[in-house]
Amino acid sequence: MWRATVLTIFPELFPGPLGASLAGKAYANGLWSLETLDIRDFATDRHRSVDDTPAGGGPGMIMRADVLGQAIDAVADGGRPRLLMSPRGRPLNQAWVRELAQGPGVVAVCGRFEGVDERIIAARGLVEVSIGDYVLAGGELAAMVLIDACVRLIPGVMGKVSSGEDESFSANLIEYPQFTRPQMWEGLAIPEVLMSGDHGKVEAWRRAEAERLTRERRPDLWAAYRPAPLPRTRTEVGRGKKGSPKR
């Protein structure tokens, strides 16, 4: 079972959105587990303080290495990576999410205030993860984002295994436009090719659209894009076999 352990001073925020919908159902079905640890439980003074003023002066408070260290040491990581949610971290992307989802789970430390004492990072081998170039008030939402992205990739969580494969970022492309019924809405029709029933043409159109959107919107992804051959369609797989059904 994929396991998430979250270290936070706000354990009451969990499971939050992770308790609903896809992730919530998967949790109820025992496909993943979530455990929170209240960092405050590891404070040693009677005020249960987890933070102190920054050495060298300046605004805000810093989470203490000694308290965080006790909390981290109380977690049996079982080979799971120990992550520190941090705007300075390596940017989270779909490739990293896939790697984490395929592993045993994560231990995620949530910062608050101005951040954490630098010494804890190296001393406990924390890997800093950023969910984007903006600053949140705390690591909890970042940890939820990471866990949500991982959980949906756990086998059995999404209806179709394939739905994780050809979506945004899986090949450095963002997703092609999607449509559903009604076929005509406010005078706007679904592109004809999608109604053609020709699986090969549909795949080619989707690929071309994904490439166009990536080129237009995400030059960074476009620069890293290496086109893979289009997947063999059902028509091609069946070609040559007599009586192969055409859809």
Q: Cis peptide before 219, with omega less than 30 degrees from 0? A: no
Q: Which residues of 45-60 are buried (b: 16+ CB within 10 A; e: fewer)?
A: eeeeebbeeeeeeeee
Select 105 or 111, whichever has its Cβ closest to ligand SAH: 111
CA dist., res. 128 & res. 88, Å (int): 7
Residue 52 binds to ligand SAH (criterion: CB under 6 A): no
Binding segment (CB under 6 A) for ligand SAH, from list 21-29, 32-40, 104-112, 222-230 = 104-112
Select 143 or 194, whichever has its Cβ closest to ligand SAH: 143
Residue 111 binds to ligand SAH (criterion: CB under 6 A): yes
Please give the residue whose beta carbon sits closest to ligand SAH in the complex. 111
CA dist., res. 4 & res. 167, Å (int): 24
Ramachandran bin of 99, using left for φ above 0, alpha for ψ from -120 to 50, beta for the remaining angles: alpha
Query: Binding pattern to ligand SAH, positions 69-88, x when CB under 6 A?
Result: ----------------xxxx
What is the distance, to the nearest Å, from the Cα of residue 70 to the centroid of all Cα atoms in its chain? Answer: 27
CA dist., res. 145 & res. 133, Å (int): 14
* CA-based nearest residue to 101, from 52, 155, 168, 177: 155
Select 13 or 171, whichever has its Cβ closest to ligand SAH: 13
SS3 15: coil
User: Which residues between 132 and 171 bind ligand SAH (CB under 6 A)?
Assistant: 132, 134-136, 138-139, 142
CA dist., res. 132 & res. 146, Å (int): 11
Select 105 or 140, whichever has its Cβ closest to ligand SAH: 140
- Chosen residue from 64, 80, 82, 112 binding ligand SAH by CB under 6 A: 112
Residue 130 binds to ligand SAH (criterion: CB under 6 A): yes
We find the least distance from the C-beta atom of residue 193 to ligand SAH, in angstroms, to be: 40
CA dist., res. 157 & res. 193, Å (int): 31
Residue 55 binds to ligand SAH (criterion: CB under 6 A): no
CA atoms within 13 A on the CB side of 195: 10
Select 67 or 194, whichever has its Cβ closest to ligand SAH: 67
Select 66 or 114, whichever has its Cβ closest to ligand SAH: 114
Q: How many residues bind ligand SAH (CB under 6 A)?
A: 19
We find the least distance from the C-beta atom of residue 129 to ligand SAH, in angstroms, to be: 6
Query: Token pair 């059902």 is at which residue?
Result: 234
Residues of the shown chain interacting with ligand SAH in the complex, contacts defined by CB under 6 A: 85-88, 110-112, 114-116, 130-132, 134-136, 138-139, 142
